Structure 1
C-alpha cells in the first residue's frame, strides 16, 4: 500500500470516529424549552365598609381579648384586621390580627393578646378581605369599669395584677357649688416595675368614694392632679368617672377635686 493510500484510509477512520462521538454527545443533550412568568390575581370579593368592635366582656381592668369584624360581603372567605389607638398626637398599634381568619355568616372574630380598646374617636382600623384592603370603621364606647391595669411605657397592658382599695374622701370644705375635697385610694400592684417604665392606669368613679359629699355637681368639676398624671385627651365631661395614670412609686394616692374648675389649672381632665 502506498503512503498516499494509507493516509487516505487514516483520514476516513478519523472522520468516522469524530462523527460517532459527535452523534453520541448530541444524543445525551437535554433540551429545555423557554420558561414563562405567569401572574394570577384574585378579584375583590367586595368593597363595602366593615364594622370593627371589641368582642366579648371586658375584664376587671377594662381589657378585651377578641375583635369582631362584621358586615363582610358574601363571597369573602378570609380577613385580617389591625387596630391603632391615639394618645395625644401619637398613634400606636394595639391589635395585629394575622394570619387571616375564616369568614362565617358575614363576619369573623379573632383572638388577640389582652388590650384596652381606644374609644371611637381615638381609634383607627385597617382590614383586608381575601388580601384586598377594604374600608373599615372602629366603634367602642368604654363601659364604666373602675379599677386599674399595669401598662408598659408604650401602652401595652401587661396583665400584671392590679387593684384599688380604700377609695374615700377624708375632708371637704366650702359651700355648693364651689366645694373642694381631698380623695384618697390605695394601689395594690405588687409586680409593677416602675424602673422599667411601667405605669398604673386607673379608672375612678368618684360617686362611689366613701364620704363623697352629696349633691356634688359633676358637670363643672375639676380633678387633680395630686398624685395623678393626665392621660392626653381625657375630658371632664365623663365625670364622675375619669381615667388617669398614677405617678410612679405612689401607693397611697392623693387626689384633690374642685366642684367648680373655672379659673383653675393643672387638672387631669379638660
Structure 2
C-alpha cells in the first residue's frame, strides 16, 4: 500500500490506502536510432519508478513483439541475413526500460538488439534497481512519511554501432546494433500531496515537487551494490566506458549524490 498526507482526521495525519498510487510516471522514449540503411533500435528511454511497483499485480511483462527489418526480415540493400539468423551471436530484443516496469515491447523506440551476455548483464543491473524499489516500498509502509522515495531510471544507446569502424556499412548486420547501452539511476524524493483523493494523487504525480536525495532517512535500508558491479564503469569486465550516446536526458534528472546508491554503468555487447 501507499500513503498520501491527510490532515482531516484527529491524531491521524497520514491517510493509509491499500491502492497503488506511485507505480511509474514520466515514462518517455526517444526516436528510433538512425543507423546505416534503416532507422532501427531505441535511442533512449526514461521513467520515474515508485514503491507501489512492488505491490502484487503491479508488474507486467510487455514481452517484446516488435519485428521487421533487419530483426527478422531482410533489409533491402542491407545485410544478407537478419538478427534472428545470425550464427555468431544469440540476439535478444532487449527493453531499454524493463517491460516489468511498464516499458513497451511493441515498439523499437524501447527495444535494442543485445547479445545474450549483454542482456544478462543488463538483468543484473535491473535486479539491483528492483532491490531499491523493494527497500523504498518497505520504508513507505513502515511509518508515516511525507514523501515517496523513487527511482529515476535513464537508459541511452551508444552512438557508435557494435561493428568495427573499419567494417561499418549498410551490409554489416552489426552496424544496426549499438556498441553498448548506458544505464543511469538516481534516487529521487517526491513530496506527497496534502488532502487530495487517491485518484487525484495518482493523476498528478508528474506535477509534485521532486528532488535529489542527498542522504536517505533513518529506516531506509539501501541495498548493497552487487559485487559484479562494484567499481565497474562497464560490463563485462575489460570493456572501457565513455563513448557518445544518443538522446538527451530529461532536464529534471538530478546530478549523482553521494548517497550510496546513485550511479551509472555501461552494458557492452560481447
Which TM-score applies when normalising by structure 2?
0.20
Greater share of residues in helix:
2
- Larger RCO (CA within 8 A; separation ≥ 6): 2
Which TM-score applies when normalising by structure 1?
0.20
